[in-house]
Amino acid sequence: MTHTTTTTTFLSPVTHGDSHDAGSITRVPGIEVGHFTDPRRPTGCTVILAREGAVGGVDVRGAAPGTRETDLLDPSNLVEKVHGIMLAGGSSWGLDAAGGAVRWLEEHGIGFDVVVGRLPLVPGAVLFDLLVGDMRIRPDAAAGYAACEAASRADPAEGNVGAGTGAAVGKIFGIQNAMKGGIGTASITVGGVTVGALIACNALGDVVDPDTAQVIAGARTDDGKQLRDTRRALLRGELPKPLLAGTNTTIGVIATDATITKAQAHRLAVTAHDGLARSINPVHTMSDGDTLFALGTGVSGQNPGMMVLSTMAAEVTAIATARAVRAARSITTAQGLYLPSAQDLG
């Protein structure tokens, strides 16, 4: 990795310590998470590992996605299981981080048996965080390798870490009126089956509480002191700033220990987007590349049915998205960009 000096400042992320335990994606047996956080910009990447392999699916809803190896997850295609998912900042450059995960997995003897060796399969997606700090600093293969080295079954840190390090939300009226995004996680267990989600939220729109529909973080008023409420602002005729396509995006992974098919994994990814729609407004825009992956480890040996699993997937996605901004901390970059957190305006 090329090292460049910068004076970006930001506060440390939070870990699970809330009075209410929302769980995490690592509560799903067979799933590990590791972050790499680069404070020089800031940016980073997050890997979700399934060492024993997991049935995979994906659904891309945003119109400006940046992805890797999503075609192999199509239910009609050959490969059944993958060994990890890489989420990264850095826009298209960040796709390089998955290569580091592939190298780490190969070194540990993990991958698809191709007779002459093992081929690790690591699909991925990136978000655009290049407006936050020095865009020449972005996750690369070394960052992805480091994220794997840090992976564990512990509840992952949330907020300004990994793929959420440089995330911002509410950019419709300009990045100068936006707020800090981040990464969040949650899980639910019903009848002995667990579904968890990990979401890196860099949305163009506002993030809202999925239970109350109140805006948590997003576009601010011109004086920077209050939430603008993007949905209502647009409906009353306020014009958005000119937008560069693909400069946003919410990406994430939904995992379960249920026994599911590849087609069911795809359907879980589809229904998980309902959770994004409950917690982001507007969502799936022409300037977002919203992409959700689904993984099934099968460790529980059970399948409660797609109605239950889909409901759980949408719920944990909505909760994790809201947690991503609630856990975030304000930052001020060396270039003078200030992104307050939800706590600052709360």
E runs forming strands in 127-214? 168-169, 179-180, 182-190, 193-201, 206-208
Provide CB contacts within 8 A for 47, sequence distance 6+: 33, 34, 84, 85, 86, 87, 97, 101, 122, 144, 147, 148, 151
Helix (H, G, I), strand (E, B) or coil at 148: helix
Q: Where are the domains of the chain?
A: 21-345
pLDDT of residue 241: 85
Distance CA 110, CA 54 (A): 12
Cβ contact 300:93 at 8 Å: no
Which CATH code fits 21-345?
Answer: 3.60.70.12
pLDDT lower than 50: segments of the chain: 1-19
Quick one: pLDDT at residue 298? 98
pLDDT score at 311: 98
β-pair type (179-180, 168-169): antiparallel
DSSP element (H, E) containing 279: helix 262-279
For residue range 55-90, what is the model confidence (pLDDT) as tens digits? Answer: 999 999 988 899 999 999 999 999 999 999 999 999
The pLDDT value recorded for residue 195 is: 98
Closest among 291, 298, 310, 295 to 248, alpha carbons compared = 291
- pLDDT attached to residue 243: 76
| Chain CA centroid to CA 65, Å | 13
Which H helix or E strand runs over 293? strand 291-296
> Can you give the pLDDT at residue 340?
98
The fraction of the chain above a pLDDT of 70, given in percent, is 94
Measured distance CA(232)–CA(250) in Å, rounded: 22
pLDDT of residue 18: 43
277-326 pLDDT, tens per residue?
999 999 999 999 999 999 999 999 999 999 999 999 999 999 999 999 99
